[in-house]
Amino acid sequence: MSKFKVEIVETYRRYVEVEAQDEDAAGDDITNKIEEGLIDLPRDGEDYKYDRELFVSEICNEKIKEYSEKELYKEYGYLMDQEHGADLELLIDIMKCNGINVERKNGKFYVLNK
């Protein structure tokens, strides 16, 4: 079973009226009322909008390891019979048949370990 990280973003939006000397004082007054519990944003009042978004991403515990041809034989050569010698294509096929994800790119070999 895979693991997932889910980010939950909730937005509560509503408007309240307050008497104050200026905009800063009005903002401070509302902030204080919220902190003191006098205004409970998600529950207080009827005239507010609520929105929720979920962002899901899989947690990847996989690691990719890079090998040279020599290192690949050293690590995975045991999968082949000695009679086949150094047959690189055969080794890659055997690895894939054994569920080992291997890719060749620019003369290097990349193995995905789960």
37 and 67 both lie in a single domain = no
| Domain carrying residue 37 | 4-58
DSSP assignment letter at 38: S
Are 40 and 77 contained in the same domain? no
- Tell me: do 71 and 30 sit in the same domain: no
pLDDT digits (tens, 9 = 90+) for 69-82: 999 999 998 988 88
Residues 52, 87, single domain; the answer is no
Number of structural domains in the chain: 2
Residues 13 and 51 in one domain: yes
Q: What is the pLDDT of residues 21-33, one digit of tens each?
A: 999 999 999 999 8
Closest CA to 45 of 32, 25, 30, 24: 30
Residues 83 and 102 in one domain: yes
- Whole-model pTM: value is 0.44
